[in-house]
Every structure is written in structure tokens, then in C-alpha cells.
Chains A and B, each alone.
Chain A
Amino acid sequence: MLAIDAIWQAETQQKIFRALLNCMSLPGEIADLSPYLGNSSALLGVLATLLDGTVSLSDEDELISQQVRHLLQAHTASSEIANFVVKDATKPPQEGFLPNLGELPNPEKGATLILQGETLGVGDLPLLLRGPGVNGTRKVSIAEFHPEWFIHRQQWVENFPLGIDLFLVTFTQVMAIPRAITIENLKLKI
């Protein structure tokens, strides 16, 4: 008998969601989703948990297979208007890439941006986080996430409450950086 991948099951999605909520409330906290993922990636685990037919998804880098796209049920939209935008972050953002930042009366319309990279927790890109959910400051290092993403992010979240909320994912891990967080990295001049 064929088994259904864990990430499509309600029980797993509850657990993944709790990990995501914990990450969103404690920016910089890294969650290991591997106990819940089966053979799927963290990216798919996150998407399977959050998406359905009422939201839109942009996947210009084609990180998700056609078959899985169908199961996610979300309708496809361009990256400027999609609720969820997934990007291959090992590469820099394309020229002119601008996700939806929301509107002042409706800032929740600002996109959730899911960046897929290689490593969370160690690496050559140190980020110093400050803001709600961080007790004082919190340092977290990452690798194989193109630094330009964080320079752009800085501009996108400049006018709070407008902005985007970030999930950084590797193959099995996830970390969140909501819009209210300021990131400091002297080398990137942010």
C-alpha cells in the first residue's frame, strides 16, 4: 500500500505549524522539522501546512514540482501580488523583484516570503537581530543565502507596518524573521 507523505496529514501539519509559530514569535530560533517531513523538504512542509485554495503562491524559480503544486491547491500569482512567494535564495533577487508590502490599513497583505538556502545556525553571514520576540539581541549565522536578500529586505520593511515576513528554509530547518525585526550586519551596511 502506498502511504501518504507525512506533510499532508493533519497531525503533522499541526506540529509543523507549532514549530512555525514558535519561530515567528522568537526570531532567530531555528526549528528542525525533520521528524515531521518524511522524504519532503522543509519548504514543502511549510507550504503544505499553510496553503490552500484561498491563497496565492508565486514560484518563479520552480522549486515545487507540478504534482505538488496541484496538491497545494493555491492559485498561482505573480510575485508582486502573491500571498506566499518562494525563492531560491542561493541566487540574488532578480532585478526589480518587489513582493507585496501590504497597505497601511491592511498590512497583513504584505507577503510571506520563503527563501530557500543551504545552512542555518552556522556560516559566513552573521545577522544580529533586534525587536519583538528577541530578548535584547540575538546573533544567528547562516550560509548560502545570498546577502543581497537582506539588503533588499531592509528597504521592504523600512516603513512599518508595511513589509514582508520571512521564513528562511534549508532542506530540513526553518527560521523566521518577521517585519518588525531589525537586522544588523556591518559588512552589508544594514
Chain B
Amino acid sequence: MIQSLTDEAIQKNGASVGVLNTASSETNRYNYQFGFLDEYAKKEVRRTLLKAVAIPGYQVPYASREMPIARGFGTGGLQITLSLIGSNEILKVIDQGSDDSVNAVNIRKFVATTCPGVTLTRQTAEATLIQSRHRIPEKRLKFGQILVLQVPYPDPLVVVEPSEEKRKIMHGDGDYARLWVKLYEDMVKFKEITISHRYPTRINGFYVIDPSPIPRFDVPKLHQAEALCLFGAGREKKIYAVPPYTDAEPLSFSDIPFRVEDFTDEQGNRRTCQRCGSMTSFLNELIDSKGAKVYQCSDSNYCDSQLGDQK
């Protein structure tokens, strides 16, 4: 009885039915349903997301399905995106800050194929959902927006402890002593903290997270953000979150403050984007065709909109 009802509903609206879920419409022998993942897989990711938000900064383990893009290309972020996304979504995908980076293009194309109805955008302000690798957009994210970051290494303790079992105990005890020692040794050896990106950041005064390979420049954007930030590590099978209005503090010593990347030139002036002239954005260093070093915004949509404002 249930089976036949399901089939009828499927034929009627083409939707696959969550709990009663069996087959999807068989127009060809093997096809893919909305959001690619089967509904049980989405449910598991959704339960994991709720726990991740409820325990800010804690890496919640999940089964992590294989995606049709390779592990390391954003399968964790993609599973989150596909478990969140509805047909009324406005999605932006960036990699290195750019909408047109090959990996961003590829993920966007995949979502467009498997999630009919979803609107794709490049405008940061317009997006309801943003999947990103290595950057948080320059434009401050608003209340109600969701940022999904792709994560290669979810655990900041991996630099001091290779065993996951031991790291979980350290996290549970809030024991980050060895991480502090590592920062201190850096200071002794190099007179600088050598961590360039993936800067360990304490969430709500308890868990320390790896904020994904965003530059230090982006770390302060997590602090008391208005948007919800979700982190997906597909290969390492963890999901964690920084809810809106939550403290996110990069680890630092009272006498050695946390510092973002320095874009000051030899004369002591802030370098500017050669394209839009921004004096505040995160810059990529490029070698132009004449072999000269030039700087340009890493966030392509920000750079474009700055140019648009000037016109």
C-alpha cells in the first residue's frame, strides 16, 4: 500500500519521498534525483549539522558519502550544500575568492545539473548560500546568509598529535597545551608565529578549530558574524560550525598579538589592487607579462563591484 502511494506521488510530482523513499522516477535505467544524494544521506548530514551548530566548534563525525568530485575538491562542503539546498536557493560558489576558478565552475555546474530550479549568482550580497574554498568574501556577510567552507584538515591538533583517538580526548578536555607550546616554540625559533593560514581559532571560549585554509586576513570575520558558518571535511568525515553571534578568537599571546597578512610596500604604504584600486582587500601577488610584480583582489566579485561603483 505504502509502496503504491509512493509511486503515485513520484509520478505526479517527480519528487522522491523521504522516509517512504524507494525508487525515483525511472525515465532511464539509472538516474539521479534532486540534490544527487539519497534522502537518507541528506538526513544524516542534517542531523550532523544540527549537532555541529549546537556544539560550536566541535567536529561532529559523520559517514560522509562519496561525491562525483574527488575527495579534496570540496566533497565535505558539497554534501552540506546539497543537504541544505532547496529549489528556491540562490547559490554562489567561489574558490580562491573567484567565481570563475575551475573548481568553483565545476561545483556550480554540478549543482545546476542535479538541483533544477536553483538560482546561481556571483553577487555575494544576493546569495542565500555560499560555498567557498580558502576565502571568506570581502563583503561582510549578512544575517540569514549561510557560508559553507571546504575543509581539508579539520583538526588543528593534528600538527601536534597524529592519533585521532587521542586528539578527541584532548578536545573533550579542552586541552590545547601542546598547541600553545608549538606557537611558543615558533616564537623562540623564528621570532614569529609561522602559521600562515588555517590559523587555530577558539570558538565560544572552548573548542579550537581549524578555520579551513582561509588566510589569517579572513579569521576575524568569523568573530560575532551575522551569518552562519559551516565547515565540511568530506575525506576526514567531520562537520563543524560557528553559529552567528559567536566568539571566534585566534590563539595568540598577550604580548604578541595575532596579525593578518601584511600588504605594506617598501615605502610603508598599503598596496592597492591594480585593477579596482581597493586599499583594504586581500590581494593576490601576480607576475604580469613584463615580469613585474602586481597585486590584485582575490575576491573577484568584490573587485568587479568596486569597478562598477567607480563608473
Contact = CB atoms under 8 A, between A and B. Distances in A.
A165 B51 contact: yes
Contact of A11 (B15, B21, B203): B15
A72 B84 CA distance: 21
A25 B5 contact: no
B73 interface: no
B58 interface: yes
A55 interface: yes
A165 B282 CA distance: 38
Interface stretch (A87-95, A103-111, A117-125, A143-151): A103-111
A165 B18 contact: no
A31 B6 CA distance: 28
A24 B51 CA distance: 9
A136 B247 CA distance: 11
A178 B49 CA distance: 12
B19 A52 contact: yes
Interface in B36-58: 39-40, 42-44, 46-51, 53-56, 58
B169 A18 contact: no
Interface string A108-144: 1000100000000000000000011111100000000
Contacts of A4: 5-6, 9, 17, 20
Contacts, number: 142
B206 interface: yes
Given A8-B20, A10-B15, A25 B243 contact: yes
B152 interface: no
A39 interface: no
Contact of B47 (A8, A13, A55): A55
Nearest to A72: B19
B86 interface: yes
A134 B19 contact: no
A21 B84 contact: yes
A188 interface: no
Contacts of A3: 9
B18 A9 contact: yes
Interface string A29-69: 00000000000000000001111111100000000000000
Name, among A9, A11, A18, A107, the residue most crowded by chain B CB atoms within 10 Å (CB to CB). A9
A3 B15 CA distance: 13
Contact of A112 (B19, B50, B171): B50
Contacts of B86: 11, 14-15, 18
Contacts of A51: 19, 43
Contacts of B43: 13, 49-52
Given A21-B84, A132-B204, A178 B54 contact: yes
11 contacts: A8-B18, A9-B18, A10-B21, A13-B18, A14-B42, A17-B46, A21-B49, A52-B19, A132-B247, A133-B53, A179-B54
Nearest 5 pairs between A and B by C-beta?
A104-B172, A178-B54, A105-B168, A132-B246, A165-B54
Given A1-B8, A18-B86, 6 more contacts: A13-B18, A21-B228, A51-B43, A71-B2, A132-B247, A133-B243
